[in-house]
Amino acid sequence: MTSNTPASQRVAELRKLLTDASRAYHERDEQIIPDAEYDHLIRELEALEAAHPELDSPDSVTHAVGGKASSRFPEVVHAVPMLSLGNAFSDEEVRDFVRRIDERLRRPTLMFSAEPKLDGLAINLRYENGVFVQGATRGDGATGEDVSANLRQIKVIPLQLQGEGWPDVLEVRGEVYMPRADFERYNEQARLHGGKVLANPRNGAAGSLRQLDPKISAQRPLSFYAYGLGEVDGELPPTHSGTLAQLARWGFPVSDLCQVVEGADGLLAYYRDIGARRDGLAFDIDGVVYKLDDREGQQEMGFVARAPRWAIAHKFPAQEQTTTVEAIEIQIGRTGAATPVARLKPVHVAGVVVTNATLHNADQIARLDVRVGDTVIVRRAGDVIPEVVSVITDRRPEGTTPWQMPANCPVCGSEIVREEGEAVWRCSGELSCPAQRKEAIAHFASRKAMDIDGLGDKYIETLVDAGIVRGVADLYALQRDQLLVLKLALDAESPEALASQLSLHLAPEGSGGTLNQILRLDAADAGWRARALSVPARFEWNTKKIATKWADNLIAAIANSRSTTLSRLLFALGIEHVGESTAKALSVWFGDLALIRRMPWPLFKRVPDIGGEVARSIGHFMAQPGNQEAIDALLARGVQITDAHAPHAKLRAELNLANLLQDLEIPKVTPVRAKQLAEAFPSAEAIRDESAHNFVTAGLPAETANALVTWLDVDANAALFSAAGAALQQLLALTPEAQQQAAGPLEGQTVVLTGTLAQMNRDDAKAQLEALGAKVAGSVSKKTSFVVAGTEAGSKLDKANELGVAVWDEARLLAFLAENGKQA
């Protein structure tokens, strides 16, 4: 056969592809093709070399072990070569493995040590007289890298052997790996702080062990399991399982998943057992390893070119495959988080056809540089959502462009915004976005928001799925009949059971047809519960046969929630970063929903404890038309604010042009420069129309003047500047002078609540104390004015007595509230 035959061309092509992949994997800790594809290609090459012996070569990748040792570390020549294992992918191949050993050894029984095959980095640990002296990677099997300093940082690797009786020289082989939970935590922190995200735990372990600075290795969450031996100068047990037990006594971690089993049936049963438990393990495995347990039998079986005849790896179905990215779309979660999702050319991964994979967030896409058209490696582990772990840039087509996060939500059209200092992008249309509807309604109805008691998650789920509740305002249009059917539907186990229940409780008023025919309930329809809520009006409830109290109570709770405080409603709207305390602060300082709805975001920064991030979040929420429409719908359905008032008099001192200029966050405009501008120009409008020259004339440095003009040249900034200036004047007109607004009797005082109150709950007590001017804190200090102690008060009461802080009982609190126009 000549060198230009199809077989020789394919052999050359496979050797180059596999050699490049092996070098990347073993020498650079990079994976350019998945394990499954590598295994498939190596088998194809082995088959070609077997069919055409003249094409075989001693330097073929089929005879190689691992990769070349890195020149960054000193070389270590292994006293006993570190070989790799042959692979089995089917039951038949496992039975052939056992049959070959049986034919050679002719023993009555064959016992095997079965072990998990960890997906990490193989290493050799050398001990002399019980002391760790050197550790090396496998390298090419004959020569590895000296990574002793880094291995000393792994706490589970003993530096001095325990017990007694160890050989004078002992080389222990095993796997350095990164536990899954630690890997996820490491990547989470890396994404948060803009660091390098590890592709998978194996790469994380290998890369961590190959750091030139041992301090970096010490910071990585590495662990180790022992599974074999290298050079040994001394006696050891006659079986592999006995040797592992001895290693454990000397202080080495050994997997508790190792078992001794008999014959092929025992091996396959172990394989299936570990496969079923695989997804719940603390570490990644890609198969199991079978080793003849008898060490004498191992010696008799011997070795082939690069692997022992007495051991084999039985691989699990591939969890990684290559495919093509056909599109990148945005998926909006229940809380508004915008997650990029890769739409993929369908590919089988771990026994499932995968068409979508998560890309986590925009930062992850940028780090991987995933583009539409790219060939990528996709990973799926058990029930975990498939993810893109890397891009094969060598296969990237021409003309691709980097991906950008879209400006608007694909579901509702609202602006997508990024949280400051966070990797998360969110849709700002909280109330109007259908993707967030269920979460928004659940939050709206919660106890500390609108307090609609009885409206649980499963009811919300069905009401939304039925299309009856499309937004929070629709809660105020619910009818008792709908709720009664909802309860029956959720309690029913099947459409037939629901139809039977409805037949008991409903009586038809008019034309014929059975109830099941009218409702057309079908078990094949996943939405049969939701569709049941469309019960025709011609049916009447037989109230003697159904309990209506739950529905009546919920309708009453919804009706009661129509009258609410401004702080409760603001909290209920679900504005990002606006919790109870921020909602109360907005209510106290601005007092009016109509004012807050139209306030430019910089003015929110005048409220104590509200910074730029929270202010912008409120502004973004109110800038979305859908959110404004949702608020309008609530007001149209009768929701009323019971405690609206003029802005707080203390706000007046904060309302000046210098503060506004600072709050706008204009580059180079420091508090000093803001004060200069405010003194030189009478209003925001006057500043907007000036030139850089006039700003310099007014005393500003040229750098500040140019930065201000450049900022104002942006249309959005100029519009915000004008709106904020106009709002400043409006607020000044609405805010009373300080003497016009009397301070509460507890103004400036700090109160702490502890223990259980008998006649009112803690939330109500807190609200009433705050209404009288108090700040209600969570801990006692010297600055605490007094502590209200109910029954079973604990450490806070002890602290108050220790510091000499006044203590009120519930009776004194109730009397004080009554004196000041408050009721329990």
Of the candidate ranges 271-275, 322-326, 650-654, the one whose mean pLDDT is the lowest:
650-654
Residue-wise pLDDT for 274-285, tens only, equals 998 988 898 989
Task: Indicate the residue type of 792.
Answer: E
Starting from the edge strand earliest in sequence, which strands make up the sheet with 806-808, in order? 775-777, 750-754, 786-789, 806-808
pLDDT, residue 345, reads 93
Count of Cβ atoms closer than 10 Å to residue 662 Cβ: 18
Query: What is the β-pairing status of strands 259-262 and 285-292?
Result: unpaired
6 φ, ψ (degrees, to nearest 5): -55, -40
Residue-wise pLDDT for 180-197, tens only, equals 888 888 877 776 766 677
Half-sphere exposure of 221 (CA within 13 A, CB side): 15
> Is 35 annotated among the ligand-binding residues?
yes
pLDDT, residue 506, reads 63
Of the candidate ranges 59-68, 562-571, 651-660, 766-775, the one whose mean pLDDT is the lowest:
59-68
Give the residue, 12 or 31, on which the prediction is more confident: 12
Q: Which domains does the chain have, with CATH numbers?
A: 6-64 (1.10.287.610), 77-315 (3.30.470.30), 452-560 (no CATH), 564-740 (1.10.150.20), 750-819 (3.40.50.10190)
Residue given tokens 């503060």 in the structure block: 659
Positions marked active-site: 117
Task: Indicate the residue type of 371.
Answer: R
> Is 394 annotated among the ligand-binding residues?
no
Whether 263 contacts 110, CB under 8 Å = yes
> And the tokens for 652?
């007046």
CA 537 to chain centre: 46
**pLDDT-derived band of residue 729, with 50, 70 and 90 as boundaries?**
very high
E-assigned strands of 35-191?
75-77, 86-88, 111-118, 121-128, 131-137, 143-145, 169-177
* Predicted confidence (pLDDT) at residue 514 exceeds the cutoff of 60: no
Residue-wise pLDDT for 780-790, tens only, equals 998 999 999 98
Could you say which DSSP state residue 90 is in? S
Average pLDDT over residues 14-37: 68
> Is 427 annotated among the ligand-binding residues?
no
Q: Is 358 helix (H, G, I), strand (E, B) or coil?
A: strand
**pLDDT-derived band of residue 313, with 50, 70 and 90 as boundaries?**
very high
Q: Classify residue 28 by burial, with Cβ atoms within 10 Å: 0-12, 13-18, 19+.
A: middle
Residue 674: left (phi > 0), alpha (psi -120 to 50), or beta?
Answer: alpha
CA 620 to chain centre: 24
> Is 545 annotated among the ligand-binding residues?
no
> Is 409 annotated among the ligand-binding residues?
yes
**pLDDT-derived band of residue 513, with 50, 70 and 90 as boundaries?**
very low
Of the candidate ranges 423-437, 507-521, 667-681, 693-707, the one whose mean pLDDT is the lowest:
507-521
C-alpha span between 553 and 383 (Å, rounded)? 41
> And the tokens for 800?
């108050």
pLDDT, residue 732, reads 92
- Give Dmax over CA atoms of the chain in angstroms: 108
* Predicted confidence (pLDDT) at residue 661 exceeds the cutoff of 80: yes
C-alpha span between 717 and 666 (Å, rounded)? 9
Element (DSSP H or E) covering residue 389: strand 387-391
C-alpha span between 247 and 251 (Å, rounded)? 7
Q: Is 767 helix (H, G, I), strand (E, B) or coil?
A: helix
> And the tokens for 210?
């190959």
> And the tokens for 688?
């907007």
Count of Cβ atoms closer than 10 Å to residue 309 Cβ: 17
Task: Indicate the residue type of 625.
Answer: P
Whether 164 contacts 226, CB under 8 Å = no
Whether 307 contacts 83, CB under 8 Å = yes
C-alpha span between 265 and 598 (Å, rounded)? 74
Whether 187 contacts 239, CB under 8 Å = no
Q: Give me the numbers of helices (H) and strands (E) for the chain, helices first please.
A: 32, 26
C-alpha span between 507 and 535 (Å, rounded)? 12
pLDDT, residue 69, reads 47
Whether 117 contacts 281, CB under 8 Å = no
> Is 38 annotated among the ligand-binding residues?
yes
Rounded-to-5 percentages of helix, strand, coil across the chain: 45, 20, 40
> And the tokens for 29?
């800790």
> Is 145 annotated among the ligand-binding residues?
no
> Is 724 annotated among the ligand-binding residues?
no
Q: What is the C-alpha radius of gyration for the chain, rounded to an integer number of angstroms?
A: 36
The whole-model pTM stands at 0.58
Half-sphere exposure of 469 (CA within 13 A, CB side): 31
- Average pLDDT of the residues of the chain: 85
> Is 188 annotated among the ligand-binding residues?
no
For residue 332, what are the β-bridge partners?
338
Count of Cβ atoms closer than 10 Å to residue 603 Cβ: 26
Half-sphere exposure of 259 (CA within 13 A, CB side): 14
Element (DSSP H or E) covering residue 461: helix 457-465
Q: Classify residue 508 by burial, with Cβ atoms within 10 Å: 0-12, 13-18, 19+.
A: middle
> Is 286 annotated among the ligand-binding residues?
no
Residue given tokens 């939330």 in the structure block: 763
> Is 85 annotated among the ligand-binding residues?
yes
Residue-wise pLDDT for 448-482, tens only, equals 999 999 998 888 988 888 888 999 999 999 988 88
